[in-house]
């Protein structure tokens, strides 16, 4: 088994492999091929310059779609979607994105697979590698994702685990970049549960030079090992990572205020947790602590009146649907770079 934190920290520290055969080669739209055949299982699987390139491709693909310019570069390719949990945006973005790129997608829910009858994850992954060109997985356990990737010989993408949601975080970075023109130096405040989404935003933001502040009760702070890696990444980019119990410390002067549901997918409802996190609800008063030009962000789905007031979620500072749209373009960029 792979130790997730050790493996990915070392992978990022090592930089790009010297023997990568696609260095200097280019594919459709002039994109480099250095991501060809690569999986994205955790946020540190991509170096900052690779993220930069993905976001640039996403912007070009977004422009092509809006102008009606054909971009069917993945004709003949098939993407599998293995989802243990429900999904609106991730599943749709992968499925529609693959078809807009000229390929096909097939959905495989847990009840559709022999996993329920005891077939191993690794055997399932090996079989799928014979039929498909890539697989996107949404599974409860991050270790299950790692086991699937270990058995696969095709790219595997993390569509959400209990530990991280890396491709969603890339979409959020793209949205911030689109709004403010650059990422480095922006200040990003996350309020609420230090969950998988928080983990990914910490790592992706720090890697790209974004100052990330997380405010939550101490018992709901993000995992210490995630915070530790975020500090390492931030030291390289000049960013600052802050975890605090103070809502005011996190939000003061921020460019973006972000929150997520207080009960993450797969968790049991907890009255105690909901009560403690209620103090971190995003209200108009909270938004007034941020910069006047600050935006409100949420990965969706949301519960208006719990983690955010409706007048914020539906107000002029909200860019939640820009985020949702940009998921499509970032998913397409990842598919194009890894499968072209």
Beta bridge partners of 237: none
- The pair phi, psi for residue 239, each rounded to 5°, is -85, 170
- Domain covering 24-164+326-339: architecture: 3-Layer(aba) Sandwich (3.40)
Matching CATH number, 166-324, of 3.40.225.10, 3.40.50.1370, 3.60.15.10, 3.30.465.10:
3.40.50.1370
pTM assigned to the model:
0.92
The tens place of each residue's pLDDT in the chain, 340 residues long, gives 334 444 444 444 434 333 344 556 899 999 999 999 999 999 999 999 999 999 999 999 999 999 999 999 999 999 999 999 989 999 999 999 999 999 999 998 777 777 756 789 999 999 999 999 999 999 999 999 999 999 999 999 999 999 999 999 999 999 999 999 999 999 999 999 999 999 999 999 999 999 999 999 999 999 999 999 999 999 999 999 999 999 999 999 999 999 999 986 555 668 899 999 999 999 999 999 999 999 999 999 999 999 999 999 999 999 999 999 999 999 999 999 999 9
Question: Within a 10 A sphere around the Cβ of 98, how many other Cβ atoms?
Answer: 26
Q: Which residues of the chain does CATH 3.40.50.1370 include? A: 24-164+326-339, 166-324
Strands (DSSP E) found in the chain: 78-83, 104-109, 134-138, 156-158, 187-191, 211-215, 241-244, 256-259, 295-298
């Amino acid at each position: 088994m792979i130790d997730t934190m050790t493996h990915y920290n070392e992978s990022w520290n090592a930089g790009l492999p010297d023997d990568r055969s696609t260095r200097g080669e280019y594919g459709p739209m002039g994109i480099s091929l250095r991501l060809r055949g690569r999986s994205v299982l955790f946020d540190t699987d991509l170096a900052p310059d690779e993220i930069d390139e993905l976001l640039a491709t996403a912007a070009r693909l977004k422009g092509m779609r809006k102008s009606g310019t054909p971009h069917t570069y993945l004709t003949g390719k098939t993407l599998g979607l293995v989802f243990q949990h429900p999904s609106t945006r991730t599943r749709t973005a992968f499925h529609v994105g693959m078809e807009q790129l000229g390929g096909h997608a097939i959905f495989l829910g847990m009840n559709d697979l022999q996993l329920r009858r005891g077939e191993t994850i690794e055997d399932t992954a090996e079989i799928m590698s014979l039929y498909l060109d890539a697989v996107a997985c949404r599974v409860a356990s991050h270790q299950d994702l790692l086991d699937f990737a270990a058995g696969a010989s095709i790219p595997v993408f993390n569509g959400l685990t209990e530990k991280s949601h890396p491709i969603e975080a890339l979409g959020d970075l793209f949205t911030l970049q689109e709004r403010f023109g650059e990422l480095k130096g922006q200040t990003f405040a996350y309020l609420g549960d230090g969950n998988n989404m928080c983990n990914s935003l910490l790592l992706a933001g720090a890697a790209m030079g974004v100052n990330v502040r997380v405010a939550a009760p101490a018992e709901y702070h993000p995992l210490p090992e995630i915070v530790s890696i975020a500090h390492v990444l931030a030291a390289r980019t000049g960013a600052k990572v802050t975890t605090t119990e103070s809502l005011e410390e996190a939000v003061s002067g921020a460019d973006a205020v972000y929150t997520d549901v207080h009960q993450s997918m797969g968790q049991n409802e907890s009255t105690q947790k909901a009560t403690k996190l209620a103090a971190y609800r995003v209200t108009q008063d909270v938004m007034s602590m941020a910069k006047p030009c600050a935006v409100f962000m949420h990965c969706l789905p949301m519960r208006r009146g719990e983690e955010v007031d409706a007048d914020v979620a539906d107000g002029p500072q909200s860019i939640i649907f820009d985020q949702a749209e940009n998921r499509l373009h970032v998913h397409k960029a990842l598919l194009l770079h890894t499968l072209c």
